[in-house]
Amino acid sequence: MQCMARPFRMYTDLAEWWPLLSPASEYEEEAADLLPELLGTADAPPRTLLELGAGGGSLAWHLKAHLRLTLTDLSPEMVAVSQAVNPECEHVVGDMRTLDLGRTFDVVLIHDAIMYATTPADAQAALATAARHCRPGGAVMVIPDSVAETLEPDTHNGGSDAPDGRGLRFIEWSWDPDPADDTFETVYAFVLRRADGTIEVTHEVHTNGIFPRGSWLAWLGEAGIDATARTDQWGRDVFVGRRR
């Protein structure tokens, strides 16, 4: 996962807990939903995929059997987690707003890390990076958790245990304190049980960007990507298009 503002603990000193917070096993159904478009949108069968803001590599774990992956994230700690999960894949530390690998891919994917684009300029810069790394005729997919038309206050909880005795439980609570601006807040509360049985309780508030569906489509078009949007089974807008 990528943070464009400040180094949240979730992506730094707590990154090692990511496999208990958001394990690859939870992404199987989503990967199955996305794969037909990832494999079928480009003008020829794709072989390579670049993911911007790949985080701990949980979604990538399900994609690597179908495509050769290059996984990037702003957090070195999260890249290290993904390297352990996906040792077959190329990994790069980099900011999705400015990254320039000097080569193109058949498919470029930005998953929920795009939510850390808190201004239109951040979002447009990330889409420009996606377009810069996508070959003409290739596919770009962007999946924000919410757009302005679908944002609702929401709460999630979960977590899991490790064989070494560690355990994690979390609450994720989102709300929009000012519907007139382009951001909303998500607070994460964590209860961490270490292998020796000691407990830590911590929390932090993340600021996320929220933009209208039409803005995303317009920005993709400005970046050279002819895109459409569909609503998936989880209520998210999936933006997918072909690079001109």
| CATH code, 9-147+211-243 | 3.40.50.150
CA distance 211 to 183: 8
How confident is the model over 193-237, as pLDDT tens digits?
999 999 999 999 999 999 999 999 999 999 999 999 999 999 999
| Helix %, strand %, coil % of the chain (to 5) | 30, 35, 40
**143, 111 in Cβ contact below 8 A?**
yes
Domain 154-209 of CATH type 2.20.25.110: yes
- Sort residue 198 into left (φ over 0), alpha (ψ -120 to 50) or beta: beta
State residue 90 phi and psi, 5-degree precision. -75, 140
Residue 180: count of CB within 10 angstroms of its CB:
5
Distance of CA 229 to the CA centre of its chain: 17
pLDDT of residue 4: 55
State mean pLDDT over 38-54.
Answer: 98
Structure tokens that stand for 151 in this block? 């944002």
How confident is the model over 98-155, as pLDDT tens digits?
999 999 999 999 999 999 999 999 999 999 999 999 999 999 999 999 999 999 999 9
Q: Domain map of the chain by residue range?
A: 9-147+211-243, 154-209
State mean pLDDT over 176-188.
Answer: 97
